A and B are shown apart, each in its own frame.
Chain A
C-alpha cells in the first residue's frame, strides 16, 4: 500500500509527469478521432430523421456532449484544484489551470449550438430555458476562474486563490442550477426540453454517447498538451527542464 502511494506521488512531480503526458497525448488524439468518426457516422447516416423536428434535431449530437463536458470539466477542474490546495502538489494545480480554457470552450459551444437549435425550434435565438441559463452562468464561472488566475502574478498564489474559487463554485453550481430551474418553471418558460425532445431512439443515444466520448478524449488530450506548456513555463529555471528539450 505504502509502495503504491509513493509510486503515484512520483507522477505528481512535474519532472516525471511531463514525459508521461507526452507519451499519452497521441493515444488520446487517436481515441478522440476514432470516437468522432463513429459518432459522426451514426449522427448523420444511421440516426433516422425525427418526426417532429426533421433534420434539425441532429444538433443534439454536438450540443449535448458539449454541455456534459462543460459541467464535467468544471467538476474535474475543481477536483484537481482542491487536491493541489490540500496536498500542495504542483501538477494538480497546473492541471486545473490547463482545463479551464477547454471548459470555457465547451460551455461556449453548448450555448452556440443551443442558440442554433432554439431558432428553428422555438423561433428565438435565446430563450431563458433553465439549461441554457445555467450553461451561461457556468461560462461566467469559467471566465472568472481564468481571469482571477491571470490577474495574480505569483503562480503559487494564483493556484491557491483559483482553487478556493473553484471549490466555492462547485458548492454553488447545484444551488444555481436548481434555483434557475425553479425560476423557470415558475415563469412558465419553454415546454420543449432540449435533451429529451425527440423520443430518444436507441441509435440516437449511441450517437450521443460516442460523440461524448470523442469530446472527452479530446478534452484530455488538449489539457495534457496545455499542461506540458504550463510545466515548461513555470519550471523553466530548473535543471531538468534545460535537459527536457532537445
Chain B
C-alpha cells in the first residue's frame, strides 16, 4: 500500500514541478465549453438543452489530452522499466499512476463543472447531478484511457491512435453521464444513470489496472 501512495505522491510532485502541463487540460475544458455558446448563440433554452452533452464531451477530450503523457515520460527516462522490475506489484504502481492522473486531470474538471454549468443556465439541482455524474465518470475515463495509453506507448503516431482506440470505449460513460443530467432536467429520476455509471466504474477499477499492466509489460519487451 505504501508503494501505491508513493506513486501517487511522486506523480503529484512531478506535476507540481511542471504546472503548465496540468493546466493545459483544465484551460482546454474551460475554453471549449465557453466557445459553444459563442458558436450557437445565447438562447437560454437551447443552451440548457445541450449543456450536459457539451460539458461531457469537453471533459472527455480534456482527459484525453493528458493521457499520452501518463506513461510516456516514465518510459523515455527508464523509470517505467525500474517500476516493472520493482519488488512491488506493477499493478499497484499503475493504479497509483492512474489515481494521480485523475487527481490532476479529472478532479479539477469535476470542481469546475458547476461553475461552467452556470454559463448554460443550469439550476442548482442540475449542477449537483452534473458534478456527481462527473465525479463517477471522470475516474472511469482515466481508467479506460490508461489501457489505451499503455497500448500506444512508444508507438508511431501514438496520440492520434490513442484517440481512435479510447474514444469508442468512452461512449457508455458519455451516454450515462450526460444522460443523468438530461434526465434530471426533463424531470425524470437520474439515479438509474448514476448507478449504472457507478457499476461501470466498479468494473473498471478491477479490470483496467490489470489490462494496463499487461499492456505495459508488452510495451517494455
Contacts and interface: CB of A to CB of B under 8 A. Distances in A.
Contacts of B215: 161, 164
Contacts of A156: 221
Contacts of A5: none
Given A148-B155, A151-B161, A164-B214, A183 B168 contact: no
A176 B151 contact: no
Interface stretch (B77-85, B118-126, B171-179): B171-179
B141 to A, nearest CB: 14
B152 A148 contact: yes
B218 A179 contact: no
B211 A157 contact: no
Interface in B27-78: none
What is the interface of chain B mostly: helix, strand, loop, or mixed?
helix
A165 interface: yes
Given A157-B218, A164-B151, A183-B175, A171 B165 contact: no
A137 B165 CA distance: 11
B200 interface: yes
Interface string A88-119: 00000000000000000000000000000000
Contacts of A183: 175, 179
B168 A168 contact: no
A169 B163 CA distance: 15
A46 interface: no
Contacts of A151: 152, 155-158, 161
Interface in A109-149: 137, 140-141, 143-144, 147-148
A157 B164 CA distance: 19
A148 to B, nearest CB: 6
A165 B172 contact: no
Contacts of A205: none
Nearest to B166: A144
Interface residues of A, number: 28
A180 interface: yes
B184 to A, nearest CB: 13
Contact of B171 (A165, A179, A186): A179
A141 B148 CA distance: 12
B23 interface: no
Contact of A144 (B165, B207, B214): B165
A74 to B, nearest CB: 12
B155 A141 contact: no
Interface in A176-196: 176, 179-180, 182-183, 186
B169 interface: yes
A157 B179 contact: no
A171 B207 contact: yes
A141 B218 contact: no
Contacts of B211: 164, 167-168
A98 to B, nearest CB: 20
B175 A182 contact: yes
A220 B67 CA distance: 38
Contacts of A171: 207
A142 B155 CA distance: 18
A172 B168 CA distance: 9
Interface in B173-221: 175-176, 179, 182-183, 196, 200, 207, 211, 214-215, 218-219, 221
A144 B163 CA distance: 9
Contacts of B218: 157, 160-161, 164
Given A161-B215, A164-B215, A168-B147, A144 B179 contact: no
19 contacts: A137-B168, A147-B161, A147-B165, A148-B152, A148-B155, A151-B152, A151-B155, A151-B157, A151-B158, A152-B155, A164-B147, A164-B211, A164-B215, A168-B147, A168-B169, A169-B169, A176-B169, A179-B196, A180-B175
Leading 6 A-B pairs by shortest Cβ distance: A179-B172, A140-B168, A160-B218, A144-B165, A183-B175, A179-B175
Given A161-B218, A179-B176, A179-B196, 10 more contacts: A141-B168, A143-B164, A144-B168, A151-B155, A156-B221, A157-B221, A171-B207, A176-B172, A183-B175, A186-B179
